[in-house]
């Protein structure tokens, strides 16, 4: 049987074997609690310190500015809830309409408890206009939270400009960089962000470990209470193996960021060029060049309702891709809120194919995928035409 081809790295990535090797001792012999003062504890503390320094280095930050959490989701919660709870008086926050649920649902929770929230619109490529942020800022705006890169469409935001506008008006700037970290450069010495969310499993590290960068001097309230670990911001016994793995993954991502970005962008462009020939109804969604290097979001004109069956067919043929975010797979399929916010009509927003590359994808795998995709599309189309008249309601392309 042919090996499977995994092209869903925005959902999660395989653990890099070098990361596994770094973690292994802390999953067996080195079991100490990093808060204990005996030799076992001191060893664990040392490992945590190293991991913290490596994660900080990915952002050009000071290790003391890294707070480990259990996930990117928790880092987002800590940034938003922590910033609002640390504020006295009226509080307003600004975010975008296309954030990950880890931010959007936290905003909804905060709205229920009295915080005013503005959801900025995006253009047809999924970008926030700096001018719309300028207009939305109010004297009581405490926090602006705009993701660095979108998980569904791959579009990268004009982060630097958005952060600068926010800082000029005295608010805090948070970015959910869970998809962007390790793929595009993020340096807190030039980017004036106060809070940055990260997650290890998106960069070939382990699941269950995330981090929030908290710029020195920024005041946050904790959302998890207990023994006061992580400078009192995230109580719980440290996940030593997870932190070690996150550190190793961050160091590898940093070392390989430039070469991988070039390799992925070339593969992405060659996929697009070939699909133009073999799948003429496929088109790129999201910004043509302000996007994550290895991220392809494809619309399939006229086959939007068939995307579920296309994914199944690809899966049977040995290819793993997705229709958006892994998180939204738990919900009933409907139009993508991200595509709707980008101005797609409901029918168009019903289906997309997300193809996301990772460190271990080869040219051969990509070639094989390009052979399999047209087969899967025609198999599904054939089954559809035999079962019912083909869908013909697609209007003109909105971009």
Per DSSP (E only), the strands in the chain are: 5-6, 66-69, 92-96, 116-120, 141-145, 172-176, 195-199, 210-214, 282-284, 295-300, 319-320, 353-356
What's the rounded Cα separation, in Å, for the pair 337 and 233?
Answer: 32
CB of 76 to ligand PLP, least distance (A): 6
What's the rounded Cα separation, in Å, for the pair 1 and 257?
Answer: 33
Nearer to ligand PLP, 105 or 256 (CB): 105
CB of 27 to ligand PLP, least distance (A): 20
Chain centroid, CA 339 distance in Å: 16
Nearer to ligand PLP, 180 or 376 (CB): 180
The single-letter DSSP state of residue 359 is T
What's the rounded Cα separation, in Å, for the pair 326 and 56?
Answer: 27
CB of 151 to ligand PLP, least distance (A): 3
Nearer to ligand PLP, 147 or 271 (CB): 147
Nearer to ligand PLP, 194 or 306 (CB): 194
Tell me the C-alpha to C-alpha distance, in Å, between residue 145 and each of 171, 196, 288, 376: 10, 9, 24, 39
Nearer to ligand PLP, 141 or 179 (CB): 179
CB 180 within 8 A of CB 186: yes
Residue nearest to ligand PLP (CB): 72
What's the rounded Cα separation, in Å, for the pair 114 and 116?
Answer: 6
CB of 89 to ligand PLP, least distance (A): 29
Cβ neighbours of residue 25 closer than 8 Å, sequence gap 6 or more: none
Contacting positions for ligand PLP (CB under 6 A) = 71-73, 76, 100, 102, 147, 151, 176, 178-179, 199, 210, 325, 327
Q: Which one of 91, 107, 297, 327 is the catalytic residue?
A: 327
The closest of 291, 279, 280, 301 to 352, measured between CA atoms, is: 301
CB 148 within 8 A of CB 186: yes
Q: Is 327 known to be catalytic?
A: yes
CB of 73 to ligand PLP, least distance (A): 3
The closest of 125, 127, 146, 264 to 203, measured between CA atoms, is: 264
CB of 74 to ligand PLP, least distance (A): 7
Nearer to ligand PLP, 22 or 98 (CB): 98
Mind telling me the catalytic residues? 327
């Amino acid at each position: 049987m042919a090996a499977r081809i995994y092209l869903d790295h925005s959902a999660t990535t395989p653990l890099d074997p070098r990361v596994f090797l770094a973690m292994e001792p802390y999953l067996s012999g080195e079991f100490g609690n990093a808060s204990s003062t005996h030799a076992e504890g001191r060893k664990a503390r040392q490992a945590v310190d190293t991991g913290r320094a490596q994660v900080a280095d990915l952002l050009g930050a000071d290790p003391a500015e890294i707070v480990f959490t259990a996930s990117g989701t928790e880092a987002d919660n800590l940034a938003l809830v922590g910033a609002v709870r640390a504020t006295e008086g009226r509080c307003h926050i600004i975010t975008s309409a296309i954030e990950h649920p880890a931010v959007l649902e936290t905003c909804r929770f905060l709205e229920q408890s009295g915080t005013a929230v503005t959801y900025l619109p995006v253009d047809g490529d999924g970008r926030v206009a700096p001018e719309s942020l300028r207009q939305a800022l109010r004297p009581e705006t405490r926090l602006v939270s705009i993701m660095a890169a979108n998980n569904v469409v791959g579009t990268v935001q004009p982060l630097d400009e958005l952060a600068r506008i926010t800082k000029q008006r005295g608010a805090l700037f948070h970015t959910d960089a869970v998809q962007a970290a390790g793929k595009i450069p993020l340096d807190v010495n030039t980017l004036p962000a106060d809070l940055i969310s990260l997650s290890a499993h998106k960069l070939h590290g382990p699941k269950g470990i995330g981090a929030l960068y908290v710029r020195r001097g920024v005041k946050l309230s904790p959302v998890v209470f207990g023994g006061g670990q992580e400078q009192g911001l995230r109580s719980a016994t440290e996940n030593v193996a997870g932190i070690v793995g996150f550190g190793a993954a961050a160091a590898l991502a940093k070392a390989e960021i430039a070469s991988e970005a070039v390799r992925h962008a070339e593969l992405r462009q060659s996929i697009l060029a070939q699909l133009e020939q073999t799948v003429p109804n496929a088109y790129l969604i999201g910004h043509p060049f302000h996007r994550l290097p290895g991220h392809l979001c494809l619309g399939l004109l006229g086959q939007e309702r068939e995307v579920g069956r296309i994914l199944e067919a690809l899966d049977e043929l040995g290819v793993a891709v997705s229709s958006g975010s892994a998180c939204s797979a738990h919900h009933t399929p409907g139009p993508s809120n991200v595509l709707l916010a980008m101005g797609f009509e409901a029918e168009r927003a019903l289906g997309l194919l997300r193809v996301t590359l990772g460190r271990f994808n080869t040219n051969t795998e990509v070639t094989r995928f390009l052979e399999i995709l047209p087969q899967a599309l025609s198999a599904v189309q054939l089954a559809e035409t035999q079962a019912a008249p083909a869908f013909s309601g697609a209007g003109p392309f909105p971009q």
